[in-house]
Structure 1
Amino acid sequence: MTLLAPAVAPGRAAGMRRVNPVAKLAASLLLAGVLVLSIDWVSAAVALACESVLFLFAGVSLRTLVLRTVPIWLAAPAAGVTTLLYGQASGQEYWAFGLIHVTDGSIALAVATALRILAIGLPAVVLFITVDPTDLADGLGQVLRLPARFVLGGLAGLRLVGLFLEDWRALELARRARGVADGSRLRRFAGQAFALLVLSIRRGSKLATAMEARGFGAPGERTWARPSAFGAREWALVAAGVLVAVLATTVSVLTGSWNFVLG
């Protein structure tokens, strides 16, 4: 099992699972690229509201969505609080202590920052928890025409993530059985991390040799076992991303909230 293993509910999820991962990547990057152009809460709130509606059609169970997005839900308020305390001071000041200044400007900036993290991070997670690493590699190699050597090397590395987690647990049990895990936790972690590093280098070298022996690094055009198509379903997903980005930008501009970061 890898970090990108699909985790979707049956039925409606089948449609999202069949969407080419390149389209999911394009929609996420497009939406994120537009949202980072401005620091205002209106565009982020509009985008987040539209995304919440689209999440209902993603086929991802609520439990899976909550578990996979926990880091984002923790990062958003943390960034908001930091911005609230140390953001640019402007307008009326409500509280000050040393370098801390809570003002109208810092409050607005904190809200915009928290909403923006949610609006960018949540759709990325929802889209990519339905992605199979092999399908992603097929799309990168066939649709985007990226070098096959780079794509297959990345896929092989990604496939080893789950194996490294198993190695970490095996090393922990082995060291505990030998009585070398009775010291301080920091020293135990450092020794185990070094052992995993050595094991990873050895396994990576063996994998690279095996892939070279099987012709993965050979020159010429590579064939693919499974075709990767980019059709109407994929264009519809990209169009949805464009629509959300345009709507968020339009509402922000019309309400006078648009704050171009390079301006």
Structure 2
Amino acid sequence: MTTLTPEITPSLVARINPVAKLLAALVISVTLMLSVDLVSASVALALTLVLVSWSGLSARQFWLRTAPVWIAAPFAAITTVLYGEDSGAVLWDGGIVTITEGSATLGLAIMLRVLAIGLPGVVLMATTDPTDLADGLAQVLRLPARFVLGGLAGMRMIGLFVDDWRALAQARRARGVADKALLRRFGSQAFALLVLAVRRGSKLATAMEAKGFGASRRRSWARESRFGMPETVLVLIGVLIAAAAVTAAVLAGTWSLVLA
């Protein structure tokens, strides 16, 4: 299984070392978590959306892969608006729940911040092959090979989980089991998938151990993972986006450290 699909057009971003993508997304995310304000989140979101066209994702792929982020952001905003700290003029008073100008502004800032943090990570990882990511983590960041290979094996199991879930649903439908009671069907099917996952994981772990994947010696890698100029440029772009967001917020007077 691979994260890249034939519908994704090969692009410069897809050929960049995944470690650089992780670092760029991490820089933007950490910076945006330092303050909750509209200006920094808006600037970061606008700049990252401009760079989306370089990812090689088609419009359909972009909306499908980022749909969870677009769904989660409004829910985070609504929760903050309803239960956030009240300040400023009261816009709506429902007794237990009160909406004020401060909570509404905070909710909008939270929504933009979720989008600004989530979208770059989803888009960058959508153009990443799991094997390339494992090579980068082991060779560039020097993470333990046992940890990296275990993570790679887990990522490759995701596609099998989807196939298993579909096969279980079809088998149960063919037997006429749980055609009704959606919640009960979901629970029993999820438990069956968990059993399959545990069994497959145990067999995979035994097979990998038998093939020497858990050896204490330093292992070699089939493909060299390089961190060159394109990777450096991408990390610098992430730093510039974070710096632009902070600078705009400071100049607008909205920057406020969360830890302060």
Q: TM-score, normalised by structure 1?
A: 0.94
Partner of 1:239: 236
Partner of 2:93: 96
Pair 1:77 & 2:102 matched = no
Checking the alignment, whether the CA contact within 8 Å between 1:7 and 1:64 is kept in structure 2 is no
1:26-175 → structure 2 map (5 Å cutoff)? 26-175=23-172
Size of the alignment, in residue pairs? 260
**Whole-angstrom CA distance in 2 between matches of 1:82 and 1:192:** 31
**Whole-angstrom CA distance in 1 between matches of 2:66 and 2:6:** 13
Partner of 1:188: 185
Deviations 1:131-179 (A, max 9, x none): 0001000101111111101110111111011111111221222223233
Checking the alignment, whether the CA contact within 8 Å between 2:11 and 2:55 is kept in structure 1 is no
**Whole-angstrom CA distance in 2 between matches of 1:8 and 1:245:** 31
Structure 2 residue matching 1:94: 3-state secondary structure = strand
Q: Where in structure 1 are there 5+ consecutive unaligned residues? A: none
Distance 1:19 1:157, change over 3 A: same
**Whole-angstrom CA distance in 1 between matches of 2:175 and 2:7:** 41
Structure 1 residue matching 2:54: 3-state secondary structure = coil
Partner of 2:4: 5
Percent of residue pairs bearing the same amino acid type: 60
Pair 1:255 & 2:252 matched = yes
**Whole-angstrom CA distance in 1 between matches of 2:144 and 2:95:** 53
Amino acid in the other structure paired with 1:5: L
Tell me the CA shift for residue 28 of structure 1. Answer: 0.5
Checking the alignment, whether the CA contact within 8 Å between 1:39 and 1:113 is kept in structure 2 is yes
Partner of 2:223: 226
Checking the alignment, whether the CA contact within 8 Å between 1:45 and 1:115 is kept in structure 2 is yes
Q: Where in structure 2 are there 5+ consecutive unaligned residues? A: none
**Whole-angstrom CA distance in 1 between matches of 2:101 and 2:179:** 53
Structure 2 residue matching 1:56: 3-state secondary structure = helix
Deviations 1:65-118 (A, max 9, x none): 111111111111221122122211111112111222221211210111111111
Tell me the CA shift for residue 6 of structure 1. Answer: 4.8
Tell me the CA shift for residue 194 of structure 1. Answer: 2.2
Distance 1:259 1:112, change over 3 A: same
Checking the alignment, whether the CA contact within 8 Å between 2:11 and 2:54 is kept in structure 1 is no
Partner of 2:204: 207
**Whole-angstrom CA distance in 1 between matches of 2:244 and 2:77:** 24
RMSD: 1.6
**Whole-angstrom CA distance in 2 between matches of 1:155 and 1:9:** 21
Checking the alignment, whether the CA contact within 8 Å between 1:137 and 1:155 is kept in structure 2 is yes
Structure 2 residue matching 1:164: 3-state secondary structure = helix
Distance 1:24 1:236, change over 3 A: same
